[in-house]
Amino acid sequence: MVGASLLFGAMTGKAEAQDTIKVGILHSLSGTMAISETTLKDVMLMLIEEQNKKGGLLGKKLEAVVVDPASDWPLFAEKARELLTVNKVAAVFGCWTSVSRKSVLPVFEELNGILFYPVQYEGEESSRNVFYTGAAPNQQAIPAVDYLAKQEGVQRWVLAGTDYVYPRTTNKILETYLKDKGVAASDIMINYTPFGHSDWQSIVAEIKKFGSAGKKTAVVSTINGDANVPFYKELANQGIKAEDIPVVAFSVGEEELAGIDTGPLVGHLAAWNYFMSIDTPENKDFIKKWQTFIKNPKRVTNDPMEAHYIGFNMWVKAVEKAGTVDVDPVIDSLIGVSVPNLTGGYSAMMPNHHITKPVLIGEVQADGQFDTVWSTPGLVVGDEWSDFLPDSKDLISDWRKPLSCGNFNVKTGKCGGAS
């Protein structure tokens, strides 16, 4: 159901007074990010349908309200306002890129809405109105670099990303982290390209040259969206194999690999918190339900889908705990909620509005799946403020009362600064 034309009005926060409980879905169904986000819209529809089969929530059916921000970052804010003021949704599940999340953040804070954000991001943010179910840098980027250094003997680093806030901030953290570990500046190459970039020939040639200096080299990729397809194709065209210059990706999962010939990419890596190949009863059940819902036995699952699975179930549990879908009681009830993840454990919502997650390194297989080659022994708590950036190393977030602060400075004892 597509949202109505934009109107302005105050959000009442009394969504349960309606005949149904409305749930907003804010994902790009067109434009450069549709390759990744359309599936997240579909999995939300599945989760809502499954919940309705169980009897709904608080005795009412859930109703999905789907809008298309079309990979247009200002349009994300307009659509978020529409969902909250016109459709009066109880919660919103959406966004992929950090620039889209940054676009909607002031809207959710102004109108006191709830956003569940399901994708890995750069950290350096904590909002009372946002629940971050994707990975923070310490749940993906830092462990991936440690793996490459320790297990693969990597000494030279190419930090390649799409030109927006997530890659730039993540690479700033990684650059500082690598230098702290003794890596010389001359052994770090940083490159950014625009969304939808398609001509990779010269950049891949530069990567190849950079990797020919006699030191083991790896690419840490924060390239997002459909630019990944020509990037990986060009790697294969220039004969760059995983054993020569491995690529570890933070934004390439099963869905993206489904669109390319994975044969030449066997052995390249991805760092996530979930892979479709995970062998657990919970995951097998999820895959079966997904492929049945989508009416395609070949459709894959991926990490952000699991993040929506976790976030949606957390929201349901918090609403049941609060006995209402009113925003403030639900926000308070979400902290401490624990629900099953798909890797065989339970993920909990922490006071900083980030969840506990395992970290997995997977190797691309010829069938487009990942073989897990490394994982953390347990769950990792998401760190919203990086320990490796001087402006944030002393900050913590705790949204429990009485602190209720997203950027409390432990040295000054004061709350303030960033969102």
**pLDDT tens digits, one per residue of 286-302:** 999 999 999 999 999 99
Domains of the chain by residue range: 15-136+279-357, 138-272
Are the CB atoms for 118 and 311 separated by under 8 Å? yes
Are the CB atoms for 79 and 3 separated by under 8 Å? yes
- Fold observed for domain 138-272: Rossmann fold (3.40.50)
Give the mean pLDDT of the chain: 92
What is the model's pLDDT at position 1?
40
Q: Which residue has the higher pLDDT, 93 or 224?
A: 93
Query: With 70 as the cut, is the pLDDT of residue 3 above it?
Result: no
**pLDDT tens, position by position, 104-132:** 999 999 999 999 999 999 999 999 999 99
Q: Which residue has the higher pLDDT, 123 or 8?
A: 123
Cα–Cα distance, 250 to 112 (Å, whole number): 31
Percent of the chain with pLDDT over 90: 86
Instruction: For residue 374, give both structure tokens.
Output: 């490394």
Same topology between domain 15-136+279-357 and domain 138-272? yes
What secondary structure, in 3-state letters, does 259-285 show? CCCCHHHCCCEEEECCCCCCCCHHHHH
Q: Span 389-408, mean pLDDT?
A: 95
Q: Span 71-77, mean pLDDT?
A: 97
Give 9's pLDDT tier (boundaries 50, 70, 90).
very low
Give 419's pLDDT tier (boundaries 50, 70, 90).
very low
Strands of the sheet containing 414-415, edge to edge, are 395-398, 405-409, 414-415
Q: Using alpha carbons, list the distances in angstroms from residue 214 to 88, 153, 156, 393.
A: 59, 12, 10, 35
Give 201's pLDDT tier (boundaries 50, 70, 90).
very high
Residues 6+ apart with CB under 8 A from 336: 348, 349
**pLDDT tens, position by position, 185-199:** 999 999 999 999 999
**Range 15-136+279-357 has CATH code 3.30.450.260:** no
What residues are paired with 217 via a beta bridge?
Answer: 156
Are the CB atoms for 360 and 292 separated by under 8 Å? no
Q: Span 200-212, mean pLDDT?
A: 96
Query: With 90 as the cut, is the pLDDT of residue 320 above it?
Result: yes
